[in-house]
Amino acid sequence: MEQVSLGTMFWMTVAAFLTFCIFSFLYRDNPFYRFAEHLVVGISAGYWIAILYHTSLTDLWIDPLVASVTAFGTAEGSVAGKTGMLIVNITPGAIGVLMFSRFFKKTSWISRWPIAYYLGVSAGVALPLYLQGFVIRQVAANMMDPRSIFGMIFAGGGAADFFQGIGEIIIIIGSICGLAYFYFSAEHKGVFGGAAKLGIWILMIGFGATFGYTVMARISLLIGRLNYLIEWVRALNGFFGS
């Protein structure tokens, strides 16, 4: 590893110290952990402000607003057009500013207006698209040709085909039974109860797979931090060893 500068070494050590502060929670809650936790909350909020200001507010609101104001000083375009653009550019910010009314008890109800706008737009776009993506497309994927499924199972094409055919039946029946389990408007007994029971079995196998993958995810994150500490020790070694 190439030798790092004093500044980089200092900051790498800060990062390693903070890593140990957080890991110390494994032993028990302690002031080092709490310090690091509170520090990062503040750093994170300040970082958000910087990002929101530089990448979003200036780009989408301040710059177009300034441009539409300065446009009045030029000869191009009609006054009506310029006024229209000014209104279009000023309105979203004006609605957004209403959010700050939350900080005052008497006026906090005004903050419902921007929330209503956001909620209305989000709900409106989500309504058809979530039904299409999560319901219609998923149900359509279950509409498999039974001839091809039974062909795979009974045509003697080998074990792979046989198990694939069985698997596709598992998808069709499993997803219907899984939905039956989530349907609570009818009592889970008789044929329906049997379907719901099969459904919960399938769901448990699915959750088991998710658990297995979650273990992999968590271990990966730990490996990431351990890799960093190894890198830090190597950097220290290179820095003081040379």
Partner 1 sequence: MRREVPLTIVFVCGAFMAFQYFVPHHVSATIYQYALNWTIIIGIFTLTVGIGSLINLHYDRISKRKERWQYSIVTLVALAYMTILGLLSPNALQDPKSLLMTMYFYVLSPVQATMFALLAFFIASAAYRAFRAKTLLATLLMLSAVIVMLGRVFIGDFLTGWLPEGMRFSDVARYILDYPNTAAKRAIYIGVGLGVGVTTLKIILGIERTWLGGGK
Partner 2 sequence: MPNDIWNTLMNLDRRWVYLVIGLVTFLPILVTVDTPVQITSEVKSVFDRVESLPEGTVIMVPMEYSPDTMAELQPMARAVLRHCFSKGLKVISTALQIQGVLLIEQDLRTVANEFDKVYGEDYVFLGYKPYPDIVILNMGENFRLPFPNDYYDNDLDDLPMMAGVSNYSSVACIVNINATSGVDSWINYANGRYKADLALGVTAVIATDYYAFLQSGQIFGLMGGLKGAAEYERLIGRKGVANKAMTSVSVAHVFIILFIIIGNVAFFASGRGKRA
Judged by the rule CB under 8 A, the positions of this chain that interact with partner 2 are 26-27, 44, 47-48, 51-52, 55-56, 59-60, 63-64, 118, 121-122, 125-126, 129-130, 132-134, 137-138, 140-141, 171, 206, 209-210, 213-217, 219-227, 230
Contact between 93 and partner 1 by CB under 8 A: the answer reads: yes
Burial class (CB in 10 A: 0-12, 13-18, 19+), 22: middle
Q: How far is CA 80 from CA 72, 85, 87, 175, 221, in A?
A: 10, 9, 11, 58, 57
- Between 63 and 154, name the residue whose CB sits nearer to partner 1: 63
CB closer to partner 1 out of 126 and 155: 126
Nearest to 62 by CA among 53, 72, 51: 53
Q: Which does 178 bind (CB under 5 to 8 A by kind): partner 1, partner 2, none?
A: partner 1
Q: Which does 230 bind (CB under 5 to 8 A by kind): partner 2, partner 1, none?
A: partner 2
Rounded CA-CA distance 121/209 in Å is 36
For residue 121, state whether it binds partner 1 (rule: CB under 8 A). Answer: yes
Of 47 and 109, CB closest to partner 2: 47
Q: Which does 104 bind (CB under 5 to 8 A by kind): partner 2, partner 1, none?
A: none
Among the listed ranges 47-55, 68-76, 78-86, 186-194, the one in contact with partner 1 (CB under 8 A) is 47-55
Residue 30 sits in the site that holds partner 1 (CB under 8 A): no
Q: Is 167 in the site for partner 1 (CB under 8 A)?
A: yes
Task: Specify the residue, 102 or 188, whose C-beta has the smaller distance to partner 2.
Answer: 102
Cα–Cα distance for residue pair 238/12, rounded to 1 Å: 13
Applying CB under 8 A, does 116 fall inside the site for partner 1? yes
What b-and-e string marks burial along 50-74, b requiring 16 or more CB atoms within 10 Å of the CB? Answer: eeeeeeeeeeeeeebbeebeebeee
Given a contact cutoff of 8 angstroms between Cβ atoms, the answer to whether 225 and 19 are in contact is yes
- CA dihedral of 6, 11, 13, 18, whole degrees rounded to 10: 170
Binding mask 132-161 for partner 1 (x = CB under 8 A): -xxx--xx-xx----------------xx-
Could you tell me the smallest distance in angstroms from the CB atom of residue 172 to partner 1? 8
Q: Which two tokens stand for residue 173?
A: 């029946």
